[in-house]
Chains A and B, each alone.
Chain A
Amino acid sequence: MRKTSTLERIRLFGRAGIDVVATLGRSSVFLLHALLGRGGAGKPLQLLIKQLYAVGVMSLAIIVVSGIFIGMVLSLQGFNILSDYGSEQAVGQMVALTLLRELGPVVTALLFAGRAGSALTAEIGNMKSTEQLSSLEMIGVDPLKYIVAPRFWAGFISMPLLAMIFSVVGIWGGAMVAVDWLGVYEGSFWANMQNSVAFREDVLNGVIKSVVFGFVVTWIAVFQGYDCEPTSEGISRATTKTVVYASLAVLGLDFILTALMFGDF
């Protein structure tokens, strides 16, 4: 084992800091380059649709199933607590507000990072390691435009849609548990929800959150794939990084966004 002196440790710490800043810079330039500037190859719309299918449609199953369960659990837990105060009719508004404001965007983003984000990273990383990206460059096609841009847009577009589907399915699952199983009066369940959910305050803010999360998660995923070391270990490291960074970024940003939206500063 080589010993590291204190000075060396301080140096390494500084080095790590510089690396973080450099990576942030590189990823920003990378994204700007992918999204701006003159065109790539092929038919952009066709490429986008293909990716929308791979990124969005293929994530539907996990989103729908998780949505139903989250809604059901919320309803169950809410009913148990609210019935102590005799206000079990409010379970509808509780489920809807929780899903629209928080759990819809956040859980969808976390699932999306695990399902679609990791797949994007691995796919792009694999293309890099098998020299497909270099060979596109040699053919005279910019891989940033041809590979990265359609994938980024697909993630950016899919994520809010998936979050909305998640919330809708969750509310449906909550209604199923509350109304059909636990016997909450259907009229008050929906009426309470309708009265307390404001479109701008709750629905729109949730959508804004999911748009931000979609941007960040997809950005991290495509950058990690493009920037990975082109070996099998490199790809697996990059995939892990995508899920970890994206999850942390989502949770951190969620707090900031919630504070801005509902914080009454």
Chain B
Amino acid sequence: MSAEKQYAVELKGLSFQRGDRSIFDNVDIRIQRGKVTGIMGPSGCGKTTLLRLIAAQLRPSQGEVWVNGQNLPTLSRSELFDMRKQMGVLFQSGALFTDLDVFENVAFPLRVHTKLPEEMVRDIVLMKLQAVGLRGAWELMPDELSGGMKRRVALARAIALDPQILMYDEPFVGQDPIAMGVLVRLIRLLNDALGITSIVVSHDLAETASIADYIYVVGDTQILGEGTPDELMNSDSPRVRQFMQGTPDGPVPFHFPAVDYRDDLLGAR
């Protein structure tokens, strides 16, 4: 199997800087086609940045981002917009268009990219909404939905064009246990039923580990570890273990770097 067939997304030697701060330094990530891949790491380590790099909303300072055999940083703006039809992203906030109702939100990508007749748009929208269990809510406006429902509608919108790659940005944050369970099931279900490649960026350990086939742990501009959830749980690396087991102090220190405590209290300024 060639690399392009096996991997939907390949990051090679990727570096990214924001201002003077280095977010990623020479990172390699390969995401297998048709699998659920988790990208985990502590808050603020640049997980969302990584998604935006894959979606080419950000340009890497260095390195290559291969998606379906195309190196994104070399594409023109209009080629990128075409490329993005193959990708769906579920943003943290859902990002529904607040001036459109649920039906129009899901229909939006179809109306933009296809010239399907109205009846067919209707059928597709209802099918996508049925898949996320919200067909009955098609008339509601986004502000009438609960947080979990918003995310499900956004998911229906993300799969409206049947993308090959679906990315989830922190899908579990701020969800109650029921909504969380629904989302976990949906992500797995959509992945297997539609044969898409899913990338889940999250710091929710249990949920991500329960659906991911493969996990990358990022932190400190590097890939700290990778493997199946079981492999990572028993990792040799103390940093990966600290993250996977959630201990407060360890290689990732509890204290923000500071001058010596005693000097700070007693010493002259």
Contact = CB atoms under 8 A, between A and B. Distances in A.
Given A130-B94, A134-B57, A135-B154, 6 more contacts: A42-B112, A130-B95, A138-B84, A139-B157, A140-B81, A140-B84
B91 A139 contact: no
A131 B81 contact: no
Contacts of B94: 130
Given A132-B95, A140-B113, A38 B78 contact: yes
Given A38-B78, A132-B98, A134-B57, A139 B109 contact: yes
Contacts of B157: 139
Contact of A138 (B88, B92, B93, B98): B88
A98 to B, nearest CB: 40
B125 interface: no
A38 B82 CA distance: 14
Interface residues of B, number: 26
B112 A139 contact: yes
Contact of B95 (A42, A134, A141, A142): A134
A70 to B, nearest CB: 34
Residue from A42, A137, A138 with most neighbouring chain B CB atoms (10 Å):
A138
Interface of A: 38, 41-42, 127, 130-132, 134-135, 137-142
A41 B112 contact: yes
A42 B111 contact: yes
A131 B96 CA distance: 8
B55 A138 contact: yes
Interface in B65-91: 78, 81-82, 84-85, 87-89, 91
B120 to A, nearest CB: 18
B112 A140 contact: yes
Residue in B55, B96, B97, B111 with the greatest tally of chain A CB atoms within 10 Å: B97
Interface of B: 52, 55, 57, 78, 81-82, 84-85, 87-89, 91-98, 108-109, 111-113, 154, 157
A135 B89 contact: yes
A58 to B, nearest CB: 14
Nearest to B108: A139
A131 B93 contact: yes
Contacts of B82: 140
Given A38-B78, A138-B87, A130 B113 contact: no
Given A140-B81, A140-B85, A131 B113 contact: no
B112 A141 contact: yes
B23 to A, nearest CB: 17
A131 B150 CA distance: 13
A137 B97 CA distance: 13
20 contacts: A42-B111, A127-B98, A130-B94, A130-B95, A130-B98, A131-B92, A132-B96, A132-B97, A132-B98, A134-B57, A135-B89, A135-B91, A137-B57, A137-B81, A137-B84, A138-B55, A138-B89, A139-B113, A140-B85, A141-B81
